[in-house]
Amino acid sequence: MYAHIDEIFNSIQGEGPYVGVRQIFVRFFKCQLHCAYCDTPNSRIAGGQCRIERTPGKNDFYDIANPVRGEDLEDLIRSLWSPSTKHISFTGGEPLIHADFIRSLDLEFPLYLETNSGFPEKARELKDKIAIASCDIKLPEHNSTDHYSELLKNELETISIFNETAETFVKIIVLPETTKESISMAVEGIASIDRDIPLILQPVTQKRKVAPILLLGLMDFAAEKLKYVRSIPQTHKMIGIL
């Protein structure tokens, strides 16, 4: 099978509870959403070239033509693997758009999925292949979609599906304008699935900073329903790594 891939590289996970863990990142093209804070806008539309890292950390890339064949991706991943690398991170864009392709891969490494959680049917297809699922829930103020209720319903269903078989956590991006009211449906939805699912509140990485008093208030609010609430910022940008 073939898929449109934006880039493949070996780096350090900069978000969520696996921050600091070495992973190979496979960033797929295409996304059905349009989040206001998106930091990978180029990956939302399929491009003609896939850039491949030659030496991890050196920023020396070469291009291959899209779409990329599954067997070629397997070889590229094996050539980028290293002793401290722990997972393959499928990210995007939205990797669940490529669920059939991911399912067809024959890889001996644990798979870590970073998804916007918008495709429960595809989550069902892929769930037994995924070791760790990082599932986003979008908020109304993210302006990700014109159909917010439908997206939230799909996100919660996706989380529930991965939670059956994979280590699953939820990530919510906090904007300066986020409120307890705007996260309440997401928090209640996660709690209705499983109070043990960790929730990561990630302050957006922008010039407009999230006020500490807001972040702490949101953590306490969420922790009234959920057992594990943490706030973890993006760290890869702090150290200037991909």
- Comparing CB distances to ligand SF4, the nearer of 40 and 165 is 40
Say how many C-beta atoms besides its own lie within 10 A of residue 24's C-beta.
26
Beta strand pairing status for 111-115 and 85-91? Answer: parallel
- Comparing CB distances to ligand SF4, the nearer of 38 and 46 is 38
Task: Give the SS3 label for residue 171.
Answer: strand
CA distances from 202 to 22, 45, 110, 184, 235 (A): 20, 25, 24, 16, 11
Q: Does 16 sit near ligand SF4 (CB under 6 A)? A: no
Q: Does 31 sit near ligand SF4 (CB under 6 A)? A: yes
Report residue 122 as tokens: 């595809």
> Considering only residues 10, 23, 89, 116, which one is a binding residue for ligand SF4 as defined by CB under 6 A?
116
Q: How many residues belong to the chain? A: 242
Question: Residue written as tokens 């699953």?
Answer: 168
> Considering only residues 33, 107, 223, 242, which one is a binding residue for ligand SF4 as defined by CB under 6 A?
33
- Write down the least CB distance from residue 159 to ligand SF4, Å: 15
- On whether the CB atoms of residues 4 and 29 are closer than 8 A, the answer is yes
Scanning 27-35, 77-85, 185-193, 220-228 for contacts with ligand SF4 by CB under 6 A, the matching segment is: 27-35
Scanning 17-25, 32-40, 148-156, 225-233 for contacts with ligand SF4 by CB under 6 A, the matching segment is: 32-40
- Comparing CB distances to ligand SF4, the nearer of 85 and 138 is 138
- On whether the CB atoms of residues 199 and 226 are closer than 8 A, the answer is yes
CA-CA-CA-CA dihedral for 162, 90, 93, 25, to nearest 10:
150
Q: Scanning residues 137 to 166, which ones bind ligand SF4 (CB under 6 A)?
A: 144
Scanning 26-34, 82-90, 95-103, 192-200 for contacts with ligand SF4 by CB under 6 A, the matching segment is: 26-34
- Comparing CB distances to ligand SF4, the nearer of 34 and 195 is 34
Q: Site residues (CB under 6 A) for ligand SF4?
A: 31, 33-35, 38, 40, 44, 92-94, 116, 144
